[in-house]
Amino acid sequence: MSRRLVLQAAAGLLLCALGYYLAHRESYQVHTVLASAGGCQMALDIYEPRSGTPIGSVVLFHGLAANKSVMSFNAEEFANQDVRVFVPDLPGHGRTPGPFTPDRDDACALALARDLAERKAILPERTILAGHSLGGAIAIRAASHFRVAGVIALSPAPMQTAAGFSAEMLPFHDVPSLPPHSLLVTGQWEPGPIKLLTQQLISASADSSSKYQLISGTTHVSILFSAQTFTQLRAWTCQLLGTNPEAPMPRNMPALACILGIIGLSILVPPFLREMTASSKSDSPFADAPANMASNFFLRGLGIALVTSLAAALIMATGFVPFHFVRVFQADYLGVLLFLAGIGSLAVRYKLVPPLATFFNATALSAAASAIVITLLFSAWFELIFYEAWLNPARWLRFPVLFLLLLPAHLAEEIFLGESPASPNRARLLKAFALRSAVVAALLVGIFALHSGEILFVLLSAYFIVFSLLQRLACDLVRFRTQSSGAAAIFGAILLAAFALAIFPIA
C-alpha cells in the first residue's frame, strides 16, 4: 500500500473518530421502551433529567422523514433543564413499523400523551408538547384535545392552503384552534409560505399567551441546531415550567459530527472502490469517437431524458400507473417516475443497451457488493451519530422492487454520459447533473402543475443534492475502473434505493 493511501485512510479514520467524539462527549441517561398506546407500537426514547429529579415533562415529536434520533440534541437541551423527555418514533419512521399516514401519526401521538398521563408518567399541567415540522403540527393538534402547560412548534407543517402549498401537499386539512401558551418558531429560509401560515395561526388565536418567533439564518432543518432556537426554547420552558434558564447547553454536536463522518467516509470510499473493482475494456460505442460526436450524442440524450421524464410525470398524473404499490411514502413516486423515464430513454436508444450478460458477470457482482458495503458503512455511521438509517426488515423487503425501478434510469444515464476517461471528471459530473435536472424538472412539474403532492422532495432538496453529488462521484469511479455501463448503473441504483428507504416513511 502506497504512502498516499495510508495517509488518506488515516485522515478518513481521524475525521470519523473526531465526529464520534463530538457526538458523544456528553452522555445522557436514555431508556428505550415500546409504547403500545392506541395499538401503535412506537419505539420511545426517554431522556432522564440531569439532576435525576424531573420538574416537568416534554413530549417531543419529530418531523416527516425524520425519527427520534434527529431530535436527540433538542431532547438533551430539555434534559439539561431537569425535564424528563419522551421522544417517539412515529408510525412508519425509525424503529416503529408502518403504515404511515399523517392521520395515523396524529392519532398515535395523542394516544401516547393520554397514555403517559394515565400511567402518571407525566402531569399534563407540567407537560409541554413539542415538535418539528409534521411533529410541530401534531403537537398543536394534540394539545387542542389534551390540555397541557404549553406547546412548542418548530417550523410547523402547514394545515391550510396558500400560494405554494396546494391541498395535496398538506398533511392535515383542518386547522385547530391554537392552544394557549404556544410558542411557534420558524426559520428565515423556510420553503414556501410556512412563515406566513405560522404567523396566521398566531393572529387567528383569541388567546394572547402565544408567541411567534423568527430565527434568522436558519432553514427548515438547521433550526433544530441553532443557538437562537435554544434561547427561545429555554425561555419558554422557564416561563411555563420554572426551569433554570442558566442550565448548561448540551456539549454534543451531532450535526457537525455527522458532517465530519461523511467527509471521512468519503475519503475512505475511493481506495475501497479501486480495490473492489477491476479495470476492463469499455462497452461504450463511443469509446474512440471524436469529441464533437460524443458531445452531439449527449445533447440528444439530454433532450430524450427531458421528454421522457416529463412524459412519465404526465402519465402518472392520469392515475394509469399504480405507483403506490411500493408502499414507501413518496419514494414510490420517485421510483416509478424514474422507471418510466428510464425505460422510455432506453427504448429510444435501444441499440446502445448492453447485452444482458453485462449485468450477470464478475464485474457487475463486484460493483453490487461494493454498493452494499458502502450502504452498510454509511448507514452504520448515521445510526451511530445522528439518524436511524439502519434498514429494518420491512425496508429491506422493499429494496429489490425499488432497486429494479431505479435501474433503467441509471443505465440510461450511463449510456448518455459515455465512457469515463478519468476519475474524477468535472465535465462528466456536470453532464450528469444536466441529465438529472430533467428529472428535477419533471418532479417540479408534477408537484406544482400536476398536484402530485410530493412536497418532501422540496423540503429535502439540500440532502438530495449532497447525496447526488457523492453518489455520482462514486459511480464515475466505478465506471472508470470497470468501463461497464451496467456495473455503474447497478452500483448507482443500489445506493439510491438504500438512501430512499432510509429517509422515506413506510406507507
Task: Give me the torsion for CA of 271, 272, 275, 276, rounded to 10°.
Answer: -150
Radius of gyration for the chain, computed over Cα atoms and rounded to the nearest angstrom: 24
Q: Which ranges of 221-361 would DSSP assign to H, the alpha helix?
A: 227-241, 254-276, 291-317, 331-348
Summarize the confidence of residues 26-33 as an average pLDDT. Answer: 94
C-alpha cell of residue 203 = 393572529
CA distance 227 to 231: 6
pLDDT over threshold 90, residue 248: no
Q: Are 71 and 98 in contact (CB under 8 A)?
A: no
pLDDT over threshold 70, residue 284: no
Indicate whether 81 and 224 sit together in one domain: yes
Instruction: Quote the number of domains for the chain.
Output: 2
pLDDT over threshold 60, residue 294: yes
Task: Give me the torsion for CA of 446, 450, 456, 461, rounded to 10°.
Answer: 40
Minimum mean pLDDT range among 199-213, 339-353, 493-507? 199-213
Q: Is residue 19 part of a domain?
A: no
pLDDT over threshold 50, residue 287: no
Q: Is residue 488 part of a domain?
A: yes
Summarize the confidence of residues 397-422 as an average pLDDT. Answer: 94
**Which pLDDT band, with edges at 50, 70 and 90, does 5 fall under?**
confident
Indicate whether 223 and 312 sit together in one domain: no
**Which pLDDT band, with edges at 50, 70 and 90, does 3 fall under?**
confident
Q: What SS3 string covers 149-216?
A: CEEEEECCCCCCCECCECHHHCCCCCCCCCCCCEEEEEEEECCCCHHHHHHHHHHCCCCCCCEEEEEE
Q: How many CA atoms lie within 13 A of 202 on its CB side?
A: 22
Indicate whether 392 and 473 sit together in one domain: yes
Indicate whether 186 and 335 sit together in one domain: no
Q: Is residue 1 part of a domain?
A: no
Q: Is residue 489 part of a domain?
A: yes
Indicate whether 401 and 456 sit together in one domain: yes
Indicate whether 450 and 320 sit together in one domain: yes
Q: Is residue 451 part of a domain?
A: yes
- CATH code where residue 171 lies: 3.40.50.1820
Summarize the confidence of residues 393-401 as an average pLDDT. Answer: 95
Contacts of 279 (CB under 8 A, 6+ apart): 481, 482, 483
Indicate whether 211 and 325 sit together in one domain: no
Whole-number Cα distances in Å, 304 to 28, 35, 179, 485: 54, 51, 52, 18
Minimum mean pLDDT range among 16-25, 191-200, 399-408? 191-200
Summarize the confidence of residues 207-217 as an average pLDDT. Answer: 93
Matching residue, cell 407500537: 41
**Which pLDDT band, with edges at 50, 70 and 90, does 290 fall under?**
very low
Coil, strand or helix at 361: coil
Minimum mean pLDDT range among 50-59, 71-80, 285-294, 362-371? 285-294
**How much is the pLDDT for 279?**
60
Indicate whether 168 and 307 sit together in one domain: no
Phi and psi torsions of 43, nearest 5°:
-70, 130
Q: Is residue 233 part of a domain?
A: yes
Mean pLDDT of the chain: 92
The pTM assigned to this predicted structure is 0.93
* Type of residue numbered 178: L
Final residue of a structural domain among 216, 251, 286: 251
CB count in 10 Å sphere of residue 343: 16
Final residue of a structural domain among 236, 251, 266: 251
Pairing of strands 84-88, 211-219: unpaired
Stated as kind and residue range, the H or E segment containing 244 is none
C-alpha cell of residue 245 = 434558564
Q: Is residue 459 part of a domain?
A: yes
pLDDT over threshold 50, residue 209: yes
The neighbouring-strand residues paired with 334 are none
- Residue of 64, 148, 71 lying closest to 102 (CA atoms): 64
**Which pLDDT band, with edges at 50, 70 and 90, does 198 fall under?**
very high
C-alpha cell of residue 60 = 417531543
Stated as kind and residue range, the H or E segment containing 468 is helix 461-482
Summarize the confidence of residues 256-275 as an average pLDDT. Answer: 93
Indicate whether 286 and 184 sit together in one domain: no
Indicate whether 285 and 183 sit together in one domain: no
CA distance 488 to 364: 8
Final residue of a structural domain among 202, 233, 251: 251
Helix pair angle (426-444, 461-482), 10° resolution: 140
Indicate whether 42 and 149 sit together in one domain: yes
Contacts of 302 (CB under 8 A, 6+ apart): 416, 431, 434, 435, 438
Indicate whether 222 and 303 sit together in one domain: no
| Domain interval for residue 181 | 27-251
**Which pLDDT band, with edges at 50, 70 and 90, does 186 fall under?**
very high
Phi and psi torsions of 132, nearest 5°:
-125, 135
**How much is the pLDDT for 135?**
97
Summarize the confidence of residues 387-415 as an average pLDDT. Answer: 96
**How much is the pLDDT for 280?**
57
Q: Is residue 257 part of a domain?
A: no
169 secondary structure, DSSP code: G
